[in-house]
Amino acid sequence: MNHYLSASEKKTWTLIQDKIKEKVTQQQFTTWFSNLNLIKLDAYEISILAPNSLCKEWIENNYMDAVTSSLAENHIFNREVRFIVEDNGSSEPKLHVHNHHSSPGAHNSTHINKNYNFDNFLVGPCNRLAHAAALAVSESPGTAYNPLFIHGSVGLGKTHLLHAILLQSQEKGHKALYLPCESFVNHYISTIKTGDWDSFRNKYRQIDVLLIDDVHFLANSQSSREEFFHTFNALYTRQKQIVLSSDCPPEEIPTIEERLISRFRWGLITRVDPPGFETSVAIIQKKTALLNMEISYDVARYLADNVVSSIREIEGTITNIHKYAKMNESKIDLSLVKQIIKGFSKQRHDIGIEKILNTVTKHYGLQLSQLHSKRKLKSITLPRQIAMHLARKFTSLSLGEIGGYMGGRDHTTVMHADDKIKKLKIIDRNISSTLRKLENSLIKQQEY
Ligand code: ADP
Ligand code: MG
């Protein structure tokens, strides 16, 4: 296919690609974006040619934000973005190859954190079963639970457990391989291009334990699911261990086929939950001890009560306290910790709506009545929308309640305003810096 682009269209395309490069890693760019071609750009649509449907699917599912904001940064708004797949009459795996980037080692570089071992994993009711199963699997791969499927929301120790299994089973002399699902998919894609299926299959099939993290990623690509299915079967029939993690149970992975779900059910499916109070205290004491931080039981209790969403968040808070105390050479006591949490925590954000309205009107030099009015001047609508966005972010008021405070607007208006500001925040530097200022000022005003 020939695409006749004017010089200025070519230049625009280069500029768009440059913006995309800023938003993704180099490997992601080479894998997904380097073989795209612009074919049409007019007032209504932009059409981009993708080398195959996998590439099209993958970008549409994972990188549309990067694409639309890169377009916006080049002042291309309100166009329909279409990805078109080249019809070259051949089946997908025979795509023509013009890539020189995928070195064979590119997928071997997964970082393994040696600290994610069983010794450092604290067991509580929230993760007891997952931990026991993980131990069993590393003792005798392929026999205890196969596959082992661990699911739960982010920051609850799934990756930690997978690493622990990897380290332990390697120590026992088993050949084990850990990789994030995205790497599996990337490797699959680059193999489509190189055609080197032998080394692809050798890599995943000549092992005793295969650990794939975040398999919900498979939702994005039907053809890699297919390949994963074959890998699974090859290992399973030879009684090799398969361990998977996901942010949801198998049946909730979007687009996943029943045959995969049913295979996941052959083994053990177990969930990790957020830690309860006692486990949180224990985790806090363990993590602080590792950092040689001395904290009283009161402080540990306070943290456990106030930082609740995930173990990753607990760790983050402890690191922040550690840094702060070191920098200021202060002793870590309850009042210091309260003060620090007040500054860092995203959780305690129920700031009164009055404060938000005051802060916004003051910043823009407006009267509250102007914010409430029906006037549609941009100098008023923008601050009004920002106030609604901040109210969504910092209060637990419902959409309707916020609308009520904004001069009797209905909930859809609030929802649109919130969406709009979230989008503007990504593409408009002025707005993002104003928001940062306003948010800092609100956090400072927050009473404890
Ligand atoms: P996930 O993969 O579920 O998002 P991670 O395994 O990355 O979560 O865990 C987030 C952080 O919390 C890691 O630093 C990990 O070491 C720590 N962590 C999670 N669970 C535990 C636990 N039970 N004991 C000690 N540290 C934990
Ligand atoms: Mg993880």
Tens of pLDDT, residues 262-297: 999 999 999 999 898 899 999 999 999 999 998 999
- What is the pLDDT at residue 3? 60
Q: How far is CA 408 from CA 64, 194, 220, 252, 405, in A?
A: 35, 61, 42, 39, 7
User: 71 by DSSP, 3-state: which?
Assistant: helix
Q: How many CB atoms lie within 10 A of CB 98?
A: 9
Q: Please, which pLDDT band fits residue 443 given cuts at 50, 70 and 90?
A: confident
Judged by average pLDDT, the poorest of 44-58, 90-104, 116-130, 355-369 is 90-104
For 154-171, write each residue's pLDDT tens digit: 889 999 999 999 999 999
Percent of the chain clearing pLDDT 70 (strictly above): 91
Domains of the chain, with CATH numbers?
A: 7-85 (3.30.300.180), 108-271 (3.40.50.300), 277-343 (1.10.8.60), 353-447 (1.10.1750.10)
- What is the pLDDT at residue 25? 87
| Long-range CB contacts (within 8 A, 24+) of 358-367 | 359/390, 359/438, 359/441, 359/442, 359/445, 360/386, 360/387, 360/390, 360/438, 363/434, 363/437, 363/438, 363/441
- Within a 13 Å sphere around the CA of 266, how many CA atoms are in the beta-carbon half? 19
Residue 98 has pLDDT above 50, yes or no: no
Closest ligand 1 atom to Cα of 156: 3
**Taking residues 124-139, what's their average pLDDT?**
96
**Taking residues 413-435, what's their average pLDDT?**
85
- 205 Cβ below 6 A of ligand 1: no
168 Cα to the center of ligand 1, angstroms: 17
**Taking residues 50-77, what's their average pLDDT?**
85
158 Cα to the center of ligand 2, angstroms: 5
CB 299 within 8 A of CB 265: no
Q: Is 343 annotated as a binding residue?
A: no
Average model confidence (pLDDT) for the chain?
86
Query: Does a cis peptide bond (omega within 30 degrees of 0) precede residue 147?
Result: yes
CA distance 242 to 142: 8
Residue 92 has pLDDT above 80, yes or no: no
Tell me what percent of the chain is helix, strand and coil, each rounded to the nearest 5. 60, 10, 35
- What is the pLDDT at residue 109? 57
Q: Is 403 annotated as a binding residue?
A: no
| Pocket probe mutation, ligand 1, options 165, 283, 284, 311, max atoms within 8 Å of Cβ | 311
State pTM to two decimals: 0.60
Tokens of 77: 């708004």
Residue 91 has pLDDT above 80, yes or no: no
- 290 Cβ below 6 A of ligand 1: no
| Pocket probe mutation, ligand 1, options 116, 127, 128, 156, max atoms within 8 Å of Cβ | 156
Q: Please, which pLDDT band fits residue 376 given cuts at 50, 70 and 90?
A: confident
Q: Is 40 annotated as a binding residue?
A: no
Neighbours of ion ligand 2 (CB under 5 A): 158-159
Judged by average pLDDT, the poorest of 137-146, 237-246, 420-429 is 420-429
Residues across the chain:
448
**Taking residues 373-398, what's their average pLDDT?**
89
Closest ligand 1 atom to Cα of 121: 24
164 Cα to the center of ligand 2, angstroms: 13
**Residue 262 backbone dihedrals phi, psi, to 5 degrees:** -65, -35
Tokens of 422: 């979230």
- What is the pLDDT at residue 430? 85
CB 185 within 8 A of CB 221: yes
CB 358 within 8 A of CB 390: no
- 403 Cβ below 6 A of ligand 1: no
